[in-house]
């Protein structure tokens, strides 16, 4: 049987995602999927969003004897409830309004291969009933048809729900779960994959650097990598990929290690519902093209400063200057450095000292 990499070369498939990791929890899940792949049995893949459930489904298919057959994917949550059964099992012409011709369902399309049902827990009760029969007897009946059609399909299903709990709540059929859970592969969240964040960050960063035609890969600074490793990653690998690629493409100096990470792309002083601290500079109505001078935060009056709080007052004033300059330059650090007549490194040092960098704000 050809390897997965050889298959991709054989069929001209260029994968944009791959399995990368060294943590025991991650390697154990991949190994479990690999061992189950050759068996003609259903497999459930459980995991949070962004953990790679579809990649596991592809691995189960390509490492099985069905690798030359179709791999058909259906997201059960992407269709209205009244269309799911038609999508899964097909329909005859005239079976319902709009059914102008006979249509094969996903089961018939996957005949001889694998059917991957994503978001399985969202299936309606009638769809679960029909799915149970398909799994039990290997046959489906199109909507509006009187005779069933035999199909040879291996089912791989995925969800981020705890299905036994849904069974207890009466939201999922116990007998259907019994038939689908021959093997259950549970993917660990990224926050529990010790040591995998640096590997993934380097992988996604290098690939983005190639896409941007950078001459080399500068890597991340120790501080930036520490921020990546300390984050909780609710969106898991998918979120990490977005954060890393965004950091690379926003970095305008390919010769220097990347030192700016933004976890929330929606973070902005102009976000809807967010209070703007400083008004924009007034427009010059005299016809002059010269930008008006931005007001500078007022320093404390000399008479109000005592020797005992002199350093605190200077620190407070410096922080106020930095915050004001950042806001007026739309939090562009290079523009802020130019406005303050500082070098970029001098500004970064000052921002770190006052904990004004992303992820270092004072409580």
pLDDT tens per residue, range 179-191? 999 999 999 999 9
Predicted pLDDT of residue 42: 97
Q: How far is CA 329 from CA 192, 292, 336, in A?
A: 38, 14, 6
Flag whether pLDDT at 130 surpasses 70: yes
Phi-psi group of 20: left, alpha or beta (phi > 0 → left; psi -120 to 50 → alpha; rest → beta): beta
The model's confidence at residue 305, banded by pLDDT at 50, 70 and 90, is low
The model's confidence at residue 296, banded by pLDDT at 50, 70 and 90, is low
d(CA 228, CA 316): 29
Flag whether pLDDT at 203 surpasses 50: yes
| Residue matched to tokens 């008479």 | 303
Predicted pLDDT of residue 240: 97
Under 8 Å between Cβ of 91 and 102:
yes
The model's confidence at residue 348, banded by pLDDT at 50, 70 and 90, is confident
| CB neighbour list of residue 29: distance below 8 Å, 6 or more residues apart | 56, 185, 186, 187, 188
| CB neighbour list of residue 302: distance below 8 Å, 6 or more residues apart | none
Under 8 Å between Cβ of 151 and 130:
no
d(CA 192, CA 341): 44
Q: How far is CA 65 from CA 3, 45, 72, 134, 166, in A?
A: 12, 19, 16, 21, 33
- Tell me what the pLDDT averaged over the chain comes to: 84
d(CA 236, CA 300): 47
Flag whether pLDDT at 17 surpasses 70: no
The model's confidence at residue 68, banded by pLDDT at 50, 70 and 90, is very high
d(CA 19, CA 299): 55
* pTM score: 0.70
Relative to beta strand 154-159, strand 114-118 is: parallel
| CB neighbour list of residue 287: distance below 8 Å, 6 or more residues apart | none
As given in the structure block, the two tokens for residue 193 are 């994959």
| CB neighbour list of residue 308: distance below 8 Å, 6 or more residues apart | none
As given in the structure block, the two tokens for residue 185 are 């592969």
What is the mean pLDDT of the segment spanning 122-141?
Answer: 91
pLDDT tens, position by position, 244-276 = 999 999 999 999 999 999 999 998 878 787 655
d(CA 248, CA 205): 6
Longest Cα separation, the chain:
95
The model's confidence at residue 361, banded by pLDDT at 50, 70 and 90, is very low
Flag whether pLDDT at 359 surpasses 90: no
Relative to beta strand 71-75, strand 183-186 is: unpaired
Flag whether pLDDT at 202 surpasses 80: yes
Helix (H, G, I), strand (E, B) or coil at 220: strand
d(CA 347, CA 349): 5
The model's confidence at residue 146, banded by pLDDT at 50, 70 and 90, is confident
First-to-last CA distance in the chain? 57
Most confident range, picked from 15-29, 264-278, 279-293: 15-29
């Amino acid at each position: 049987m050809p390897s997965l990499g050889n298959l991709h070369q054989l069929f001209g498939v260029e994968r944009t995602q791959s399995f990368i990791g060294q943590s025991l929890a991650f390697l154990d899940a991949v190994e479990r999927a690999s061992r189950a792949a050759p068996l003609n049995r259903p497999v459930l893949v459980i995991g949070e969003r962004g953990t790679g459930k579809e990649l596991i489904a592809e691995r189960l298919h390509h490492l099985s004897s069905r690798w030359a057959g179709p791999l058909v994917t259906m997201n059960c949550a992407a269709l209205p409830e009244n269309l799911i059964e038609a999508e899964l099992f097909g329909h005859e012409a005239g079976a319902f309004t709009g059914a102008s011709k006979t249509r094969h369902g996903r089961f018939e399309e996957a005949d001889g291969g694998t059917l991957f049902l994503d978001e399985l827990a969202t299936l309606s009760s009638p769809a679960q009933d029909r799915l149970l029969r398909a799994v039990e007897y290997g046959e489906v009946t199109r909507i509006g048809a009187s005779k069933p059609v035999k199909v040879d399909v291996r089912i791989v299903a995925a969800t981020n729900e705890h299905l036994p709990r849904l069974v207890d709540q009466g939201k999922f059929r116990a007998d259907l779960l019994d038939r689908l859970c021959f093997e259950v592969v549970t993917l660990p969240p990224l926050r529990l994959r010790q040591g995998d964040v640096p590997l993934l960050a380097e992988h996604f960063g290098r690939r983005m650097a190639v896409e941007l035609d950078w001459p080399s890969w500068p890597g991340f600074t120790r501080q930036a990598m520490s921020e990546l490793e300390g984050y909780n990653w609710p969106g898991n690998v998918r979120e990490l990929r977005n954060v890393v690629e965004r950091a690379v493409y926003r970095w305008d100096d390919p010769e220097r290690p990347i030192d700016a990470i933004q976890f929330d792309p929606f973070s902005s002083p102009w976000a809807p519902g967010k209070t703007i601290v400083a008004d924009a500079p007034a427009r010059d109505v005299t016809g002059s093209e010269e930008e008006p001078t931005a007001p500078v935060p007022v320093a404390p009056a000399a008479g109000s400063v005592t020797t005992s709080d002199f350093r605190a007052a200077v620190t407070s004033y410096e922080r106020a200057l930095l915050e004001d300059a950042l806001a007026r330059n739309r939090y562009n650090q290079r523009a802020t450095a130019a406005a303050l007549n500082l070098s970029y490194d001098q500004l970064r040092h000052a921002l770190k000292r006052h904990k004004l960098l992303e992820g270092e704000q004072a409580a």
